[in-house]
Amino acid sequence: MNSFLAEYGTMLLQETVATLEMSLISTLFAYILGIPIGVLVTITGEHSILPCRPVNVVLGWIVNMGRSIPFLILLVALMPFTRKVVGTATGVEGMIVPLIVAATPFVARMIETSLMEVDDGLIEVAHATGSTTWQIIRKVLIPESIPSILMGVPITLITIVGYSAMAGVVGGGGLGDVALRYGYYRYQTEVMIATIIILIILVQIMQSLGSFIAKKSDKRTR
């Protein structure tokens, strides 16, 4: 055990940090992009506060398209684009672009689901008090669905961790890369097992912490 840690410890730690870096940064950007898209898709729906069929249909299409492309294919297909944007299509930087592209439609759908849960009665009050569309979004729709939106964060994050593990294919770094290099190419099973254990622990921590924060934020339970 000690000799294993001495030999691979530093490398495993570095790659864990790389995985976290990729996942957290892409999740952050996916939310920055996905929230407005999710809000737009929701409010332009037929019975929502700003019905607009063309916008709703087109955005819905784009989101579905993004969600239906398998990540590995997206990763390869985006390589030229990625190179243009960050200068390289490999390594941690090279992974962030495809991860954001994959996660944004995912986040948009999660946001839409959360916003749809808001009680119609609250929208009605907002209208009855003379709120503008923007005020309804900012002061009713989003604040009332914060706990539900927060519940979605670990789900997104864990999905992205899973995607990021495919980075190995393009030499993208992170734990997936380690598992592929040592476990698959060099038959060093114990390194692969170590990466699996680390991934399991990461996912557990993300889920528990995420759920805890979401529950804590919800004023309906007390």
Partner 1 sequence: MIEIKDLAKIYHTDHGEFKAIEHINLTIEDGDIFGIIGMSGAGKSTLLRCINLLERPTDGAILIDGRDITGLSGKELLQLRRQIGMIFQRFNLLMQRTVEANVSYPLEICGMPKPQRKKRVEELLELVDLTSKAKNYPVQLSGGQQQRVSIARALANRPSILLCDEPTSALDSLTTNSLLELLKDINAKLGVTIVIITHEMSVVDKICNKVAVINDSRIIEQGMTKEVFANPKESMTRLLISEMQGGGTENE
Interacting residues with partner 1 (CB under 8 A): 119, 121-122, 124-125, 127-132, 135, 139-140, 143-144, 146-147, 218-222
Q: Please state the closest distance from residue 145 (CB atom) to partner 1, in A.
A: 9
Q: Please state the closest distance from residue 30 (CB atom) to partner 1, in A.
A: 24
Q: What are phi and psi of 182, to 5 degrees?
A: -85, -45
Quick one: 35 or 99, whose CB is closer to partner 1?
35
Q: Please state the closest distance from residue 49 (CB atom) to partner 1, in A.
A: 12
Q: CB 26: neighbour CB atoms within 10 A?
A: 25
Tokens representing residue 180 in the block: 């592929």
Quick one: 74 or 142, whose CB is closer to partner 1?
142
Q: Alpha helix (H) ranges present in the chain? A: 2-43, 53-68, 71-77, 79-86, 91-116, 120-128, 133-136, 142-164, 175-178, 189-217
Q: What are phi and psi of 44, to 5 degrees?
A: -90, 0
Q: Please state the closest distance from residue 132 (CB atom) to partner 1, in A.
A: 7
Quick one: 25 or 142, whose CB is closer to partner 1?
142
Q: Please state the closest distance from residue 192 (CB atom) to partner 1, in A.
A: 45
Gap between the terminal Cα atoms of the chain: 46
Quick one: 114 or 195, whose CB is closer to partner 1?
114
Q: What is the dihedral of CA 148, 151, 156, 159, to 10 degrees?
A: -130
Quick one: 64 or 129, whose CB is closer to partner 1?
129
